Amino acid sequence: MPAEVDFQRLRFEYARSPDQDAPAPARHPVVVVGAGPVGLTLAIDLAQRQVPVVLLDNDNTLSTGSRAICFAKRTLEIFDRLGCGDAMVAKGVSWNVGRVFFRDAQLYSFDLLAESSHERPAFINLQQYYVEGYLAQRAAQLPLIDLRWSNKVVGVAQHADHALLTVETPDGRYELVADHVVACDGSRSSVRELIGQKAKGRVFRDRFLIADVKMTLDQPAERWFWFDPSFHPNQSVLLHMQPDGVWRIDFQLGWEADPEVEKRPENIIPRVKALLAHSATMKDAPFELEWASVYTFACQRMERFRHGRVLFSGDAAHGVSPFGARGANSGVQDADNLGWKLALVLQGIATDALLDTYADEREYAADENIKHSTRATDFITPKSEISRLFRDAVLDLARVYPFARTLVNSGRRSVPATLHDSTLNTPDSADFDGPMCPGAAAADAPLTLADGREGWLLRELSDGFSALVFGSDASLHGAAPHGVPLKVLHIGPCGDKPAPGQLIDHDGVIAERYDLLPGSVVLLRPDQHVCARWRQPSTEAVRHAMRRALAMH
Amino acid sequence: MNLITTPHLSAPDDFYEALIAAHHDLSVAQSHALNARLVLLLANHIGTQAVLQQALDAARDTNDASNSRVSL
């Protein structure tokens, strides 16, 4: 095994691009601004779809500090499609159990593993610099990605059929023309500012201290959350395990706290010691402070994620509180939604209208994420006396009554938005049960491959459209509009003798999750969202649904 | 299903006496906390969001009515 890269210390050399010496600004189909988790995801996805990408980053390092640490199943599935999920899951800490404490007593624990038969766990914890590092390594394998470090966008001019960017480098400024610009440059997005837009919403009057602490604890990989513990009264505390023996501790401080004072090690260390001292198993554990940060947050978004030739993804477009792990996860899901659409538009297969659906769908998803994270924040940080009264009443009841545990909200599990109202969906024309309705992100399931090996459904999907054809030999030949890739997966019910090339639903999980009967067909978009399903469709119906999913109607 | 606002208590006087008795010896803060727990227990028993919303609206509207009486 090769020695591990120290991603935190990695510096990327600025290299002069031939574009800087071009007599007129060079033109590129896509310029992505920001090589964080979202920009890297989008660049890799586009390059895998044969679209050349210029990726600009204003500095020459990966994430400073651990920052986003919880990566959800759906995000890992996207990373699998991009060819770097295995490295992340191998390095990350998989966890399923969470414990919730009120004052010093455990109220209850929960186990996310209840939902089994998925290749990926509910979450892994992994420092953001590892995620960015693995994505950067993958990007480096793709010659279509032109990643330019220390390239800062300082000007954006919009024109009818392109945007003109002014870029500042250690060698001075140059200009670039892009058919489309995607801003993935974070919550303080300079592209957003340069085009005169703002993200609007609620700013929360509270401060939190993140302390990453290196220590050897004889403690399982579990998420521990305290409401009002004696070692940190009237506030909340979160303890989470990361790889390399690093523990994330999140202390709520209140609005009055002075961030500069709280960031000092001499003030952080006593807080950590108090946490450790309260527990018999953690008491006196030696530790080292790795990284600390004091943050506030807002739940906000831009009104529109598309402004002409400039599209916005990730924190640049929307911000959420950290409770529920919806920041980086939703940003990666933005990129997943945009990649295939941009590629098909640039290849002349779909029209510009498809890009508007990116904005519509991801604005809807952002609202859902903002709603969940606002609710969690209001529970963790009650904003009024009566809100605190009910919060504490819920916690008191939760100790005894299971119903009250459903009301305890220390962050809801991050799941992808189901795009119920998307114009790309073909509404059901037959009765179906279950969550895999048009708009849902496809659920994984185990299967047997044609050669007899065990596999997973999502791994078998293509980068284009995929059709799950259950218990029938319908070929769907001619269903795909010209130039649009469609992979047809013939899936046999459990107990069936496999026909050549057929996959077998050996545990019946696919049929159950997708509510399939012999003859049923489910159509999946290139981002693995369901866009149509039928009991016995004609080829014409599938063709019509594909056109609809491409905004061609 | 709609929120029942017609007489429905099997023993109204017994319930009222028990409600007051449950608060016996409690400080105002403890009473508020008891009421909050009671609301949550009863809400779970009802279960249906639409009915609970009707109850919230009815409680809120009654409060507005009493406020307007006071302002007269």
pLDDT in tens, A52-105: 999 999 999 998 888 899 999 999 999 999 999 999 999 999 988 899 999 989
Residue B28 carries which side chain, given as an amino acid letter? V
Residues A278 and A129 in one domain: no
Chain B: closest CA distance from residue A393 (Å): 5
Residues in B touching A392 (Cβ below 8 Å): 33, 36
Q: How many Å apart are CA A371 and CA B2, to the nearest integer?
A: 27
- Whether B53 is covered by a domain: the verdict is yes
Residues in B touching A403 (Cβ below 8 Å): 44
Question: A458 near A119, Cβ under 8 Å?
Answer: yes
Sheet containing A222-227: which strands, arranged edge to edge? A105-111, A97-102, A222-227, A236-242, A246-252, A208-215, A287-295
pLDDT number for residue A219: 82
Domain extent for B69: 48-72
CB neighbours of residue A62 within 10 Å: 26
- Whether A480 is covered by a domain: the verdict is yes
CB neighbours of residue A72 within 10 Å: 25
Residue A93 carries which side chain, given as an amino acid letter? V
- The arithmetic mean of pLDDT across residues A142-169, rounded, is 97
Q: Does B41 touch chain A (CB under 8 A)?
A: yes
- Whether A421 is covered by a domain: the verdict is no
Residues in B touching A396 (Cβ below 8 Å): 33, 37
Residue A52 carries which side chain, given as an amino acid letter? P
pLDDT classification of A322: cutoffs 50, 70, 90: confident
Residues A170 and A272 in one domain: no
Q: Does B60 touch chain A (CB under 8 A)?
A: no
Pairing of strands A486-492, A503-504: parallel
- Is the pLDDT at A389 greater than 50? The verdict is yes
If interface means Cβ-Cβ distance under 8 Å, which residues of chain A face chain B?
A: 389-390, 392-394, 396-397, 401, 403-404, 407
In the numeric block, the tokens 């510096």 are attached to A11
pLDDT in tens, A340-359: 999 999 999 999 999 999 99
Question: A414 near A72, Cβ under 8 Å?
Answer: yes
| Interface probe, candidates B28, B34, B39, B44, chain A, greatest A C-beta count within 10 A | B44
Residues in A touching B36 (Cβ below 8 Å): 389-390, 392-393
> Which of A274, A296, A318 is the C-terminal boundary of a domain?
A296
pLDDT classification of B64: cutoffs 50, 70, 90: low
- Whether B14 is covered by a domain: the verdict is no
Q: Are residues A393 and B40, on separate chains, in Cβ contact within 8 Å? A: yes
Residues in A touching B39 (Cβ below 8 Å): 390, 393
Q: How many Å apart are CA A97 and CA B53, to the nearest integer?
A: 33
pLDDT number for residue A494: 85
Q: How many domains does chain A have?
A: 3
Residues A266 and A361 in one domain: no
Longest CA–CA separation in chain B, Å: 38
Chain A: closest CA distance from residue B3 (Å): 21
> What per-residue string of b and e applies to A310-341 under the rule 16 or more CB within 10 Å gives b?
bbbbbbbbbbbbbbbbbbbbbbbbbbbbbbbb
Phi-psi region of A136 (alpha: psi -120 to 50; beta: other; left: phi over 0): alpha
Q: Are residues A407 and B41, on separate chains, in Cβ contact within 8 Å? A: no
Closest residue by Cα to residue A311 from A338, A332, A343, A349: A338
CB neighbours of residue B50 within 10 Å: 10
Chain A: closest CA distance from residue B59 (Å): 16
Q: How many Å apart are CA A380 and CA A2, to the nearest integer?
A: 43
In the numeric block, the tokens 């080829």 are attached to A539
Residues A33 and A181 in one domain: yes
- Whether A97 is covered by a domain: the verdict is no
pLDDT number for residue A337: 98
- Specify the length of chain A in residues: 553
What ranges make up the beta strands (E) of A322-472?
446-448, 454-456, 465-470
Question: A121 near A96, Cβ under 8 Å?
Answer: yes
pLDDT classification of A281: cutoffs 50, 70, 90: confident
pLDDT in tens, A28-60: 999 999 999 999 999 999 999 999 999 999 999
| Interface probe, candidates A384, A396, A409, chain B, greatest B C-beta count within 10 A | A396
Q: Does B37 touch chain A (CB under 8 A)?
A: yes
pLDDT number for residue A131: 97
CATH code, A252: 3.30.70.2450
pLDDT in tens, A205-236: 889 999 999 998 888 889 999 999 999 999 99
Nearest CA in chain B to A401: B41
Q: Does B27 touch chain A (CB under 8 A)?
A: no
> Which of A268, A296, A324 is the C-terminal boundary of a domain?
A296
Question: A66 near A291, Cβ under 8 Å?
Answer: yes
- Is the pLDDT at A115 greater than 70? The verdict is no
- Is the pLDDT at B72 greater than 60? The verdict is no
Residues A327 and A474 in one domain: no
- Whether B35 is covered by a domain: the verdict is no
Q: How many Å apart are CA B46 and CA B55, to the nearest integer?
A: 10
Could you tell me the two tokens for A356? 């508007």
- The arithmetic mean of pLDDT across residues A371-378, rounded, is 91
Q: How many Å apart are CA A442 and CA A471, to the nearest integer?
A: 19
Q: Are residues B36 and A407, on separate chains, in Cβ contact within 8 Å? A: no
- Among A153-157, A220-224, A460-464, A524-528, the least confident range: A220-224
- Whether A156 is covered by a domain: the verdict is yes
| Interface probe, candidates A228, A389, A394, chain B, greatest B C-beta count within 10 A | A389
Residues in A touching B37 (Cβ below 8 Å): 393, 396-397
Nearest CA in chain B to A397: B37
Could you tell me the two tokens for A416? 């992808």
Chain A: closest CA distance from residue B39 (Å): 9
Question: A416 near A333, Cβ under 8 Å?
Answer: yes
Closest residue by Cα to residue A186 from A144, A148, A153: A153
Average pLDDT, chain A: 94
Residues A219 and A351 in one domain: no
Q: Are residues A390 and B41, on separate chains, in Cβ contact within 8 Å? A: no
- Is the pLDDT at A157 greater than 60? The verdict is yes
Q: A202, exposed or middle or buried, with CB in 10 Å at 0-12, 13-18, 19+?
A: middle
CATH code, A502: 3.40.30.120
Q: Are residues A397 and B32, on separate chains, in Cβ contact within 8 Å? A: no
Segment holding A222, helix H or strand E: strand A222-227
Pairing of strands A53-56, A70-72: unpaired
- Is the pLDDT at B66 greater than 70? The verdict is no
Chain A: closest CA distance from residue B37 (Å): 5
Residues A359 and A492 in one domain: no
Residues A132 and A51 in one domain: yes
Which distant-in-sequence residues (6+ apart) come within 8 Å of A461 by Cβ?
Answer: A81, A442, A487, A489, A524, A528
DSSP A149: T
- Whether B58 is covered by a domain: the verdict is yes
pLDDT number for residue B71: 40
CATH code, A315: 3.50.50.60
User: pLDDT over 70 for what percent of chain A?
Assistant: 99
Q: Does B36 touch chain A (CB under 8 A)?
A: yes
- The arithmetic mean of pLDDT across residues A448-467, rounded, is 95
Residues A332 and A188 in one domain: yes
Residue A2 carries which side chain, given as an amino acid letter? P
Residues A143 and A75 in one domain: yes
Could you tell me the two tokens for A14? 């600025």
- Whether A187 is covered by a domain: the verdict is yes
- Whether B54 is covered by a domain: the verdict is yes
Chain A: closest CA distance from residue B4 (Å): 23
Domain extent for A344: 18-92+124-202+299-372
Residues in A touching B41 (Cβ below 8 Å): 397, 401
Chain A: closest CA distance from residue B32 (Å): 8
Q: How many Å apart are CA A136 and CA A138, to the nearest integer?
A: 5
Residues A28 and A152 in one domain: yes
- Among A134-138, A293-297, A329-333, B61-65, the least confident range: B61-65
Q: The pTM is what? A: 0.94
> Which of A357, A372, A387 is the C-terminal boundary of a domain?
A372
Could you tell me the two tokens for A459? 């791994």
Residues A306 and A288 in one domain: no
pLDDT number for residue A114: 62
- Is the pLDDT at B44 greater than 60? The verdict is yes
Q: How many domains does chain B have?
A: 1
Q: How many Å apart are CA B68 and CA B72, to the nearest integer?
A: 6
Residues in A touching B44 (Cβ below 8 Å): 401, 403-404
What ranges make up the beta strands (E) of A105-189?
105-111, 123-125, 145-148, 152-158, 163-169, 172-183
pLDDT number for residue B65: 53
| Interface probe, candidates B31, B35, B37, B49, chain A, greatest A C-beta count within 10 A | B37
> What per-residue string of b and e applies to A436-466 under the rule 16 or more CB within 10 Å gives b?
bbbbbbbbbbbbbbeeeeebbbbebbbbbbb
**Cα(first)–Cα(last) distance of chain B, in Å?**
36
Closest residue by Cα to residue A431 from A533, A553, A293, A317: A533
pLDDT classification of B70: cutoffs 50, 70, 90: very low
Nearest to A389 among B32, B41, B44 (CB): B32
- Whether A317 is covered by a domain: the verdict is yes
Chain B: closest CA distance from residue A530 (Å): 29
Q: How many Å apart are CA A522 and CA A470, to the nearest integer?
A: 9
Q: Are residues A404 and B36, on separate chains, in Cβ contact within 8 Å? A: no
Q: B72, exposed or middle or buried, with CB in 10 Å at 0-12, 13-18, 19+?
A: exposed
Closest residue by Cα to residue A38 from A348, A411, A319, A418: A319
Residue A151 carries which side chain, given as an amino acid letter? N
Nearest to B36 among A390, A401, A403 (CB): A390
Closest residue by Cα to residue A516 from A445, A464, A458, A456: A445
**Cα(first)–Cα(last) distance of chain A, in Å?**
52
pLDDT in tens, A161-211: 999 999 999 999 999 999 999 999 999 999 999 999 999 998 888 899 999
Q: Are residues A393 and B44, on separate chains, in Cβ contact within 8 Å? A: no
